[in-house]
Amino acid sequence: MADLSIEFYAVRFKNPVIAASSELTLNAANMRRCIDAGVGGLVAKTLTDSEAMRNQTRKNSKWRFLNEKHRVSPGKLPREFFFYGRSGLAEEEPAEWAVELKEAAACAEEHDAVVIGSAASSSGPAGWAELAKIIEDCGIPLIELNFGCPHPSQMVGEKTGMVVGQDPEAPCEAMAAVAGAVSIPVITKLTPQVTDMVEMSRRVREAGASAVTLTNRFVGFTVDIENERPQLYGWAGVGGPWIKPLSLRSVSKTHVAMPDLPITGSNGCYDGNEILEFMMSGARIVQMCSAVMLKGYPYFTEVIRQVDAFVERKEYQSIDQIVGIAARKALTYDEIMALPPEKAEIDYDLCVDCGICAERCYYHSTRESDGRYEVGDTCRGCGLCSTVCPEAAVSIVGGRVL
């Protein structure tokens, strides 16, 4: 097995695969299952001082895995599933939660894994600081502040999670209070529902955050047309593998702007290759939730095996090498403009003259001429004809040789 270990703000993880804060880490027994499956670390379910958020988990946990038509498909696990649902935060009161956390930390130590504590207060900065201190006192080496939980935004008067994350001042005030209360590094987990993720990351960093988690889930809405109602009675959190490009945008933009800010990736990671995509975009460690909830804890072992196989095949000296490697190669629109032109090229040995390429050419470049289709001068190499050609007879040539 390759060496998959990586440093994250001076905390060493044996591999970058992390169980996200969720029902996967609902209590010590569940955290043990993550550790047994081989994760480098896990984020415990979020500790809260809000009875309403505890009750959400106890009484309002409802989830639907929807297929590509946004329908429940029992027994079938589409790869591009939508996970639509709601839950709350940790069910235990802080003192009871500390017992779970200490048990998980002891188990993690035995197995060279890391437990990250998670907190979300609805009592303002002092409340965030108090919860963080409880976590630190359990011997936990890292804390994640949950400024991203989508559900409080649908609850009356719950000023925590995403409601704090979207406020112009509250996340920085909470972060500053926590930084003053604990001596361990603090990660802030952000909501994707802000306009400028880079600016948000910069602001929490200035307030004392050592790292950021990008990102928690969105709030969504799906409709059951037969019953003319929303699914699951109303608004709920939504995510799944399809969301990954949006998460990678947040990760890559933030990494390029602040390369020395450690990032943990979250929201849309499906398998080992996608762990690598998050890392190449700039994440040092990557959290997984929905895909593992769907497939079960042993899936973590498979994901780690996939990462290992890639790292071995590529003969990387250290997994550190790949962090941000793709983000740094991203060209600006102006730089892309300066590349040599690209153009469609038809392989007439494969072409069957169906004409789909011409019919879908919105620049009127590919046309029929003397009984065959030809690419004209107005071609910009957009690539649509190559995508729709049923015979794979069209390729795009030119541009920069990669």
Ligand X SMILES: Cc1cc2nc3c(=O)[nH]c(=O)nc-3n(C[C@H](O)[C@H](O)[C@H](O)COP(=O)(O)O)c2cc1C
* Among positions 65, 83, 97, 128, the unique one binding ligand X when judged by CB under 6 A: 83
> Could you tell me the smallest distance in angstroms from the CB atom of residue 190 to ligand X?
10
CA–CA gap between residue 180 and residue 78 (Å, rounded)? 46
Q: Does residue 20 bind ligand X (CB under 6 A)?
A: yes
* Among positions 23, 36, 103, 391, the unique one binding ligand X when judged by CB under 6 A: 23
Q: Does residue 285 bind ligand X (CB under 6 A)?
A: no
Contact letters (x/-) for ligand X, 208-237, by CB under 6 A?
--------xx--------------------
Residues 19 and 288: beta-carbon distance below 8 Å: yes
Q: Does residue 269 bind ligand X (CB under 6 A)?
A: yes
Give pairs for 62-69: CB < 8 Å, separation 24+.
Answer: 62/86, 62/87, 62/232, 62/236, 63/87, 63/293, 64/231, 64/232, 65/294, 66/222, 66/231
Q: Does residue 254 bind ligand X (CB under 6 A)?
A: no
* Among positions 45, 205, 253, 284, the unique one binding ligand X when judged by CB under 6 A: 45
Segment 154 to 193, residues that bind ligand X, using CB under 6 A? 189
Residues 106 and 148: beta-carbon distance below 8 Å: no
What number of other Cβ atoms are within 10 A of residue 330's Cβ?
12
Using the contact rule CB under 6 A, the part of the chain among 195-203, 260-268, 324-332, 358-366 near ligand X is 260-268
Contact letters (x/-) for ligand X, 106-145, by CB under 6 A?
------------x---------------------------
Give pairs for 335-339: CB < 8 Å, separation 24+.
Answer: 339/399, 339/400
Q: Does residue 239 bind ligand X (CB under 6 A)?
A: yes
| Biggest distance spanned by C-alpha atoms of the chain | 82
Catalytic residue among 149, 172, 357, 379: 149
Which sign, positive or negative, has the C-alpha torsion 263, 267, 271, 276? negative
Q: Does residue 30 bind ligand X (CB under 6 A)?
A: no
Which sign, positive or negative, has the C-alpha torsion 302, 306, 307, 313? positive
Query: CB-wise, 262 or 268, nearer to ligand X?
Result: 268
One-letter amino acid of 364: H
Residues 6+ apart with CB under 8 A from 360: 384, 385, 388
Strand partners, 82: 66
Q: Does residue 290 bind ligand X (CB under 6 A)?
A: yes
* Among positions 160, 264, 266, 365, the unique one binding ligand X when judged by CB under 6 A: 266
- Catalytic, 149? Answer yes
Contact residues for ligand X, defined by CB under 6 A = 20-23, 45-46, 83, 85, 87, 89, 118, 146, 149, 189, 216-217, 239, 266-269, 288-290
Catalytic residues: 149
